[in-house]
Amino acid sequence: MSLITHGNIVIGQSGGATAVINASLVGAVEAALTSERVEGIFGMRYGIEGFLREDLIDLRRQPAHIWPQLLHTPSAALGSCRYKLKEGDLERAVEILRRYNIRYMAYIGGNDSADTAHRLLEAARQANYEINIISVPKTIDNDLPYTDHCPGYGSAARFIAWATVDSTMNTISIPSHYPVKVIETMGRDAGWLAASSALGKYTEADPPHIILLPEQPFNVERFLTRVEEVYRQLGYVVVVAAEAIRDEQGQALGAAGQAGLDAFHHPLLSGAAQYLVELVKTQLGIRARFDKPGDLQRMASNSISPVDRDEAYLVGEMAVQALLNGESDKMVTLIRHSDPVYHSTTGLVELAKVANVQRFLPDEYLDESKTMVTQAFKDYAQPLIGGPVPQYTMLEHIKVRKMR
């Protein structure tokens, strides 16, 4: 722990933007504004990649009305990046830190961003430059370890839960047209987001009927058998599939649509839903189509969960407080409390335990089929989305008597 008496702070946003990532920025800036030990408050334009170009903006001199408005604004106001530091970058980054007298850094992001923060701090230490760095959690994938959940997930989960119900209403209205609907969600290797589609499922007949997760190997025969069973029973089927589901050989179903790798060598996949639609059509002879919300699930402002937004602000605020208290090389965590009602507090965990590590959906959140969630998952996720998903009214099928 190193208590730095004064200096400038730099704040950055990294990775996929979310609906509430700006709330973390606001929390961090407002905490910095209240401290006499913080001098300049700088913002990285486009994360660490922009920092290496010295693309910095002055956050202290922003108009005061911006911060309460930004609290409700989706996407990354500073701009984001997916950039993996190279060895030469580290030396330059430390030189920039030194030149601008940056003694505190809050970096908002996920697993890869934690790795960036950790590597930068190690480089600063080797160069005998004193700085405190804290990682602020953010990811709709909800796959960061040592935190109960991640800011950004609650709003994305809310979007997926509502979208599943709403999309199903269209399918129900004309089941003879496309009786099988496949909804593809994001989620690189973890099924937290796909699982959230069941938060509007109140009865067995409610959607979704099948959830396909990255953690569970996809079996063609079991899938087709279940689709046929539900179709015969209800006349329609709703499937939710994570974009990175894999077959029993570990091959991603969306590999046919792979569009290369990102900077951290994660495959950029597309095509899982299309694969499943073609499988149903060719093997079962049933018409099918897919919905692919894409970036909307990540940052739809009309689906922001108030709980998620408040917690995103909280982790940004607590990151700066931790920096000023001498903490460094750590990530802020969220700790769940449920007595008497749900609320959260924050903690800290070493970045070395978080960087490039993923937390997968545990088995106790899945039933025996591994294609549907349990009540335990619903109890976990429901408080995070800011209110229950509506149960829509359906007309009773009361037949009119035939006239004679």
Condensed to tens digits (0 to 9), the pLDDT of residues 184-222 reads 999 878 999 999 999 999 999 999 999 999 999 999 999
CATH of the domain at 286: 3.40.50.460
Any idea what the CATH number is for the domain that residue 33 is in? 3.40.50.450
Judge whether 401 lies within some domain: no
Q: Looking at the structure, do residues 143 and 182 belong to the same domain, yes or no?
A: no
Residues 166 and 284 occupy one common structural domain: yes
Structure tokens at 30: 């407002």
Torsion of CA 396, 196, 25, 309, to 10 degrees: 40
Paired sense of beta strands 132-137 and 102-109, if any: parallel
pLDDT at 356: 83
Its pTM stands at: 0.93
Helix axes 306-324, 21-33, angle to 10 degrees: 40
Is 105 in the same domain as 68? Answer: yes
Radius of gyration in angstroms for the set of CA atoms belonging to the chain, rounded to a whole number: 23
Tell me the per-residue pLDDT of 53-98, one tens digit each, with 9 for 90 and over: 999 999 999 999 999 999 999 999 999 999 989 889 999 999 999 9
In a shared domain, residues 159 and 256: yes
Ranges of residues in the chain whose predicted pLDDT is under 70: 1, 254-270
Given 89, 112, 115, 141, the catalytic residue = 141
CA angle 285, 165, 76 (to 5 degrees): 110
DSSP for 173-241 reads HSTTT--EEEEEE--SS--HHHHGGGGG--STTSSPSEEE-TTS-B-HHHHHHHHHHHHHHHS-EEEEE
Same domain, yes or no: 84 and 135: yes
- Alpha helix (H) residue ranges in 174-253: 192-195, 220-234
Is 171 within the bounds of a domain? yes
Query: What's the number of domains the chain is made of?
Result: 2
Q: Give the SS3 label for residue 341.
A: coil
Separation between Cα atoms, residue 48 and residue 87, nearest integer Å: 14
348 and 367: one domain? no
Q: Catalytic: 89?
A: no
E runs forming strands in 45-85: 56-58
pLDDT of 122 reads: 95
Q: Which domain holds residue 164?
A: 155-298+360-385
Do 308 and 177 sit in the same domain of this protein?
A: no
Q: Are 240 and 208 in contact (CB under 8 A)?
A: yes
pLDDT of residue 270: 54
- Cis peptide before 208, with omega less than 30 degrees from 0? yes
Question: What span, in angstroms and rounded, lies between the C-alpha atoms of 93 and 74?
Answer: 28
